[in-house]
Structure 1
Amino acid sequence: MMNNQFSQYLSDFLALFFPEICAGCGHVLVRQEKQLCTSCLFHLPITNFHLDLNNQVARQLWGKFPFENATAMLLLKKETRVERILYQIKYANRPQLAYFLGRQYGETLVKSLVFTNVDVIIPIPLHKKKLKKRGYNQSFYLAKGIGMALSKPVLEHGLIRVGESVSQTKKSRLERYDNVQNVFLCADGHSLKGKRVLLVDDVLTTGATLTAAAEQLIAAGCTISVLTLARA
């Protein structure tokens, strides 16, 4: 009891000088809040795509590669809290924010029984140079949160990024597909054969990256489902 009280006092003392900031709005978090304030959590544009097999993500990926289910947790628009959250995850050294949101969404998926039949979760990998520069792979932390909620293993190195693609931000749709051709390699196709794989990435834009990654897993004999934190 005394240890718990001391820990709380220490936490409160440190918060005076190093307060935790909400990734969505920048306001200081109160004691019970983690990563996002109550207001930002309440106003997140949750898609509920997992309840609709013909949702926007699924329709966007139709014809690119075969998959069982596809979903995204949030809708991404410019100059919104979701854009700020994604920036914090990728560029402000907040991987635990990705884990937090992954676990939140995973708990929603458990309740609906969607994606609970997957065998393993595989995040889209970063190239080793970008991983070294950033220090972490945000998609891996997102996958960890989902895996914790779904009680499914996360295979961090199920895919390897063997080619270094440049930023997709200012490329056309066709250029995005060319940019990620042959950049992924399935690390152990033999052990993955016949597995239902949940492929996880942070953002869906054109689907080029997910398509290139999924093709490698499908060639190894996997059945694919797709989950992203946001859809642009």
Structure 2
Amino acid sequence: MTLKDSISIWFNDFVNLFYPRLCEACGNYLFKNEETICTRCLFHLPKTDFHLNKNNPVSILFWGRVTINYAASYYTFSKGSQFQKLIHKLKYHNKQDIGIALGKHFGESLKKTDFFKDIDVIIPVPLHPKKEKIRGYNQAKLVAVGLGQSMQKPIVSDNLIRKIHTESQTKKNKLERWENVDNIFELVEPSSLINKHILLVDDVVTTGSTLESCAHALLKAEGAKVSIATLAYA
């Protein structure tokens, strides 16, 4: 270990005395090899293993609606759960590191499956510029960043755009969700995605309406294929 490394470690330990690194899930101290969420909490988060099975509940959501190669969610989302609290912090409390950290773990699992090995590019579901300006970031892009780091794939966040600002989907039923997002996405440069296998990314999938609308826009690129990855399935 060099003198520079020793000084860096000493400085980080000193800073942690005043600004301790805490797990975003349980609030306990993180060990040096842990990031954002402690190992214990990661172990207890409700994994689905959908990425191991082609015909899983997320894939089935899109049957007869849009052609999707593969689709998977890493966790199960239920109201009042520890995982819901993490997603709430990610979306509404500027805890951007949660999206990147969970995306990394998801990416490590995805790259081990045959279904997602030939992904060419990762594209997050876009927010309307007005909404992104208010929030300050796009949580789906943060998840995509984590996935990209683990899977070593490029992220493109400026080609698929949301051209219409819509109301929140939270309190809408299935039909209202579909009507709210129908035909609101478009590709800026379809030619750059010709014959590409695209991984479309979002934080949570409920009815799949937003992802369906995005996929229809992406499939306008000649020869493109679309697969879907979300952190959670509600």
Question: Could you say whether these structures have the same fold, taking a TM-score greater than 0.5 normalized by the shorter chain as the test?
Answer: yes
Are positions 1:157 and 2:152 aligned together? no
Q: Please tell me the residue identity of whatever aligns with 1:96.
A: D
Q: Deviations over 1:40-87 (max 9, x none)?
A: 111011111111011111112211201110000100011111101111
Aligned residue in 2 for 1:168:
169
The letter of the residue matching 1:203 is V
Q: Distance in 2 between matches of 1:54 and 1:132?
A: 37
Select the residue among 204, 223, 226 that pairs with 2:225.
223
1:148 corresponds to: 149
Q: CA deviation at 1:179?
A: 1.0
- Normalised TM-score (structure 1): 0.95
The alpha carbon displacement at 1:224 in A equals: 0.8
User: What is the aligned partner in structure 1 of residue 202 from structure 2?
Assistant: 201
Counterpart of 1:92, as a letter, is H
Residue 30 (structure 1) shift: 3.0
Once structures 1 and 2 are overlaid, which stretch shifts more, 152-161 or 109-118?
109-118
* Matched-pair contact (CA < 8 Å) for 1:57–1:70: yes
Q: Percent identity?
A: 42
Once the two structures are superposed, what CA deviation does each residue of 1:17-50 show, in whole Å capped at 9, x if it has no partner? 2222222223332333211012111101111111
Unmatched 5+ stretches in structure 1:
none
Name the CA distance, whole Å, in 2 between partners of 1:144 and 1:106: 10
Q: Are the aligned partners of 1:23 and 1:84 in contact in 2 as well (CA < 8 Å)?
A: no
Per the alignment, residue 112 of structure 1 pairs with 113
Q: Distance in 2 between matches of 1:186 and 1:3?
A: 47
Match of 1:53 in 2: 54
SS at match of 2:47: coil
Q: Relative to structure 2, which stretch is displaced further, 202-211 or 96-105? A: 96-105
Residue in 2 aligned with 1:66? 67
Q: Deviation of residue 111 (structure 1)?
A: 2.1
Deviations 1:154-192 (A, max 9, x none): 111121111111111111111111111222111211221
Q: Find the residue that maps to 1:142 and give its secondary structure.
A: helix
Q: Distance in 2 between matches of 1:50 and 1:142?
A: 16
> In terms of mean alpha carbon deviation, does 17-26 or 37-46 score higher?
17-26
- The answer to whether residue 21 in structure 2 is matched with residue 23 in structure 1 is no
Post-superposition offset of 1:113: 3.3
Cα-Cα RMSD: 1.3
- 1:114 is paired with a residue of what secondary structure? helix
Q: Distance in 2 between matches of 1:22 and 1:217?
A: 37
Distance 1:107 1:76 in 2: 20
- CA-CA distance at 1:16 after TM superposition: 2.0
> How far 1:95 sits from its partner (Å)?
1.8
Map of 2:81 onto structure 1: 80
Which residue of the partner structure matches residue 182 of structure 1? 183
CA deviation after TM superposition for structure 1 residue 227, in Å: 0.5
* Pairing 1:1-40 to 2, within 5 Å after superposition: 1-40=2-41
Number of residue equivalences: 232
